[in-house]
Amino acid sequence: MKITIFGANGQIGQLLVKQALEAGYDVTAYTRRPNALNIEHEKLQILVGALIDREKLKEAIIGRDAVLSALGPALSMKRQVVDLPIAEAHKAIITVMEECGLKRLITLGTPSISAKEDVKQFITVFPNIMPKLTAPIPYAEMKGIETLIKNSTMDWTVVRIINSNVKTNGNGYSVSFGDTKGKMGVSRYNAAKCMLDAVTKDEWIHKMPIVFNN
């Protein structure tokens, strides 16, 4: 299977690249800066380009089986929402995927992106209230991504994370689709593992698992 990973040089993205290569995937890693990803492998291709460069995106996407985005918004406490570069990147990626006839998209998000299965509980309510008050730009990015994927023709999965600063990997991970109890913390390794596992989980298409450490 051939996959493309956006945000490949981020903390979760790098783990995702390594796990995908270990699993035997052919990986195209897309970064915005040269020399941002210090990984070498015979099954790894690194492409450098802007996230809204349609021709470069097409080079990264055409002929692949799935696209995974570990892109995340920069933490910002600014009150005025002006630019939404991560949402704009998703718009460009989805547009090119539709042009290329590729449908499988797995993207990283938070419970600020709401699922139809969500019921009122701490892991679905708290991550919506706090970012709206304390980090309006990242919150707006998530809501922008939510609108884009729900209006797209993609076979999408949104892997939602809360507090990915957990240092231990625990005993693997579990997920809630918003309708069952879950926990707040997940390691970056387990977040990446959940994203990679989603590639082959057809039952997760149009689902938004919240991933947490066991």
Q: If pLDDT is split at 50, 70 and 90, which confidence band does 64 have?
A: very high
pLDDT digit string (tens) for 145-182? 999 999 999 999 999 999 898 999 989 999 999 999 99
pLDDT digit string (tens) for 184-199? 899 999 999 999 999 9
- Name the helix (H) or strand (E) containing 108: strand 104-109
Predicted pLDDT of residue 211 = 98
Edge-to-edge strands of the sheet including 155-160? 44-48, 26-31, 2-6, 66-69, 104-109, 155-160, 210-213, 173-176
Is the pLDDT confidence value at 82 over 90? Answer: no
pLDDT digit string (tens) for 23-49? 999 999 999 999 899 999 999 999 999
Taking CA atoms, 115 is separated from 3, 67, 94, 108, 176, in Å, by: 25, 21, 19, 14, 11
pLDDT digit string (tens) for 91-139? 999 999 999 999 999 999 999 999 999 999 999 998 888 777 778 889 9
Judge whether 155 and 30 are in contact, CB under 8 Å: no
pTM metric for this prediction:
0.94
Predicted pLDDT of residue 74 = 74
Judge whether 107 and 68 are in contact, CB under 8 Å: yes
Predicted pLDDT of residue 79 = 61
